[in-house]
Amino acid sequence: MYHTSNPEPDTAIDRTVPEFPVAQLSDEDKYFNSYKPPSYLPRIEDEVRSFIEFHATTSGKPIALVTSGGTTVPLENNTVRFIDNFSAGTRGATSAENFLENGYAVIFLHREFSLLPYSRHYSHTTNCFLDYMTEANDKIEIKPNYAEKMLKVLRKYKDAKESRSLLLIPFTTVNQYLFTLKSVSELLHRVESKALFYLAAAVSDFFLPQSRTPQHKIQSQDGGGKLVVDLEQVPKFLSRLVENWAPSAMIISFKLETDDSILIKKAKTALQRYQHQLVIGNLLQTRKKEVVFVNSKGEEKWIRLTPEQVEENLEIESLIIPEVVQVHNQWINRK
Ligand code: PAZ
């Protein structure tokens, strides 16, 4: 078992790693040439390879790669402190469940310890998981008011497990995310020409180059009582994904903004820059109630929960995924 949140065993800083300049044409390639992949990556590749083979040869299910949760940017090699973001992985985990219900096999590339499909219903609530249980005749039982819903979730979970339709792949840092995404994409591309990429993870735009990452915990007296962090831009990996890693796949990226006046423009710019198929835009403040699909023709389509649906606690992913499946099918049958 590997844990992505543990530091790499050889945490000694490698001063031979060059610090590369900002914003050059092939920053993506430089990144992958300059940095080390996580040591556990070959094990992940084995798992992904056999998952893809199984679905290509046996189940025939289309595969969706769903990314989920936030990436960290470690400030120390033996990481005590890191920069993180707000994402809990709700969008990714809920979408993964909906993809599974729509007949997909799902590779769930997620931030370790963020929300997971199925367990999410019980893991991150204000209840302790023991609050769902009660004691009766010296035995443990699910409390009757939770039992009906839990049985439904259990059945779906068992179905996903027994049909080998869900593969959980963790990451913690932005470096682990990028290397794992690259590997999984290349493996998918080799076998499955109709794969769907649904990139809902909140990936850091900035990172601290290894050449400037101290090996040990930063001491408060080191910087005269201040901590000044000088970050570089994370390479725009989406262009590599679209052009090189998985050129035959359908790629959906997410765009998160907080200012509604720039959301559509940013989504359109991303589509023009990376030439992929769809951007799903959302605002931090309203992301659980509305999203906008922007396609490569520049068309916009809003998906919104009605006030009644909000009242019933309907999850917007149950509206998003059928729409995505439709777009994916049209894309597969486009020729
Ligand atoms: O994890 P969550 O459900 O709280 O948030 C989901 C989200 C807002 C991170 C996702 O919908 C999204 O927009 N991801 C891409 C973020 C970006 O890099 O722009």
| Encoded tokens for 8 | 């790499």
Looking at ligand 1, which atom is closest to the CA of residue 115?
Answer: 1
Tens-digit pLDDT profile for residues 237-272: 999 999 999 999 999 999 999 999 999 999 999 999
pLDDT at residue 191, as a whole number: 81
Answer whether 18's CB lies under 8 Å from 211's CB. Answer: yes
Cα-to-centroid distance, 87 and ligand 1 (Å): 6
Looking at ligand 1, which atom is closest to the CA of residue 280?
Answer: 13
The domain limits of the chain are: 27-248
Query: At CA 178, angle to CA 176 and CA 184, rounded to 5?
Result: 95
Residue 193's contacts (CB-CB under 8 Å, 6 or more residues apart) are 248, 249
pLDDT at residue 23, as a whole number: 45
Atom 4 (ligand 1) nearest CA: 87
Q: Please state, in angstroms and as integers, the Cα–Cα distance from residue 175 to each residue in 167, 201, 251, 297, following that order.
A: 21, 14, 21, 33
Which residues of the chain, if any, have pLDDT below 50?
22-24
Q: How far is CA 105 from the centre of its chain?
A: 16
Architecture of domain 27-248: 3-Layer(aba) Sandwich (3.40)
State the complex-level ipTM: 0.99
User: If you count DSSP H runs as helices and E runs as strands, how many of each does the chain have, helices first?
Assistant: 10, 14
Looking at ligand 1, which atom is closest to the CA of residue 256?
Answer: 19
Looking at ligand 1, which atom is closest to the CA of residue 69?
Answer: 1
Task: Please give all residues whose beta carbon lies within 6 A of any atom in ligand 1, as ranges.
Answer: 87-91, 200, 202-203, 254-256, 282, 287
Atom 18 (ligand 1) nearest CA: 202
Cα-to-centroid distance, 169 and ligand 1 (Å): 18
| Encoded tokens for 89 | 């992985």
* Alpha-carbon gap, residue 308 to 1, rounded angstroms: 44
Tens-digit pLDDT profile for residues 65-114: 999 999 999 999 999 999 999 999 999 999 999 999 999 999 999 999 99
Tens-digit pLDDT profile for residues 159-172: 999 999 999 999 99
The amino acid at 84: D
